[in-house]
Amino acid sequence: MATQAPDDTLDTADTADTTDTGLERRMESRHLTMISLGGVIGTGLFVSSGYTINQAGPLGAILAYAIGSLLVYCVMVSLGELSVAMPYAGSFHLYAKRFIGPATAFVIAVLYWLNWAVALASEFTAAGLLMQRWFPDSPAWVWSAVFIAVVFALNILSVRLYGEAEFWFASIKVFAIVAFIVIGLLAIFGAIPIAGRPADAGAPLFGNFVADGWLPRGVAPIFSTLLTVVFAFSGTEVVGVAAGETRDPGKAIPKAVHTTVFRLAMFFIGSIAVMAALIPWHQAGVDTSPFVLVFQSIGMPFAGDIMNFVVLTAVLSAANSGLYVCSRMVWSLAKERLIPVRFAKTNFRGVPVWAVLFSMCGSLLALLSSVIAASTVYLVLVAVSGLATLVVWFSVAVCHIRFRREWVRGGHDVSELGYRAPGYPVLPWLAIVMCIGALVLVALDESQRSTLYCMVPFVALCYGGYWAIERARRKSDSPVSLEE
């Protein structure tokens, strides 16, 4: 794997200049924070968290999310340092190109684009199904089409509008989670009565945590559910993608990084603790949202409708972030001339319209495959995209280590960095070890192993595609001989 030549030293003053990209720096710290939260807080917390509690037990679930939070923190501080020093739009594969190699950068970009394109398809499907709770006689595809149009409009008009929409989408989810934790704590300590619980029974406190022992299923489920937790945290890295369109990235990005990680840990671990205290761990699952179960247990009216609205907001927020990320990856690949340069063109508002259109078409094709070829094509797409987040996180940690080495080798001092990641080099190396460990868990888990069978050939195909593109490009750029 090739790194940049030693004589080509890094300079944040140069690399931070992206005014010639055609994109506009319109987003602020509050947008970045909510975009990152919006990409993470979704059905993984509102629905799948019940599965984690059921499999690992109360304490085991909290430990699994704590480990996941540690991994996210390690990756985010590395990404923060890279993004402040080099605020590129579509940052992941550009960092990888510079510090790992162009072929690997291409593979990372394709994997990450596919990951969000497939996620987009599932979010649009979920939105249509959620609306059927209120309109049971209406076809789900009509609502899916409406939400596709809304998300497309938010992304095509201006980056500022996208940022504002994501801010309010994510704010609704954050408000719901904070309300859930506060109401849950009041119920735990007896300030709010619980339906069906005798008045003289006293406050439930945290009895469910030890009712069947600290770890009722043992230690192993903590690690088996860790994969679910890691994937639930995917989306935090969107901060790096948005760096190139952020006003004053030197201040906005570090604030967004630390705020996002702190809030995620508090929201996820706090919510899990409340759920586990109020719901017996063996009753939790994915059939009903644990949020709904808790609200129903304290007699909250319209609990199902309230959470249906919150989950719908979460779905639209994830779709909004997904289309944004997809389009910036396409734009970045076009800027590198790995795909037609048309996709790098922006309109007068600094929006890469062709990249947005291409990404939306990709998600619609994935949506179509989920209907027509769900057990073949769509299954492969899901399998390939499933590990993309781990690949990106791994590459960010590797790039951070190589960036620091090159920075010092170029005659710079660490104190010159606009943002210096704490805990270097321990945290990036810890992130690398944890990402490798998660991949090992995939290989050991029979239910997850099939993803590797799909992903390995796809990655090899991407490398082959890159080398074919490069060969064709070098051939077209070579001077024409005048001798016949």
Total number of domains constituting the chain: 1
For residue 159, which amino acid is it?
Answer: V
Domain annotation covers residue 390: yes
Domain annotation covers residue 80: yes
Domain interval for residue 97: 23-111+160-304+386-467
Which CATH number fits the domain that encloses residue 64?
1.20.1740.10
Domain annotation covers residue 183: yes
Q: For the chain (length 484 residues), average pLDDT per consecutive 10? A: 42 42 56 68 72 82 89 90 79 86 92 87 83 86 90 82 78 85 86 68 73 78 79 76 66 78 84 83 66 77 82 84 85 85 82 90 86 77 81 93 93 88 93 91 80 88 91 72 43
Domain annotation covers residue 294: yes
Q: What is the pTM of this model?
A: 0.83
Residue 332 has what pLDDT? 84
Domain annotation covers residue 66: yes
Domain annotation covers residue 372: no
Residue 400 has what pLDDT? 95
Domain annotation covers residue 220: yes
Domain annotation covers residue 225: yes
Long-range contacts of 465-472 (CB under 8 A, 24+ apart): 465/106, 466/102, 466/103, 466/106, 466/107, 466/338, 467/103, 469/338, 470/102
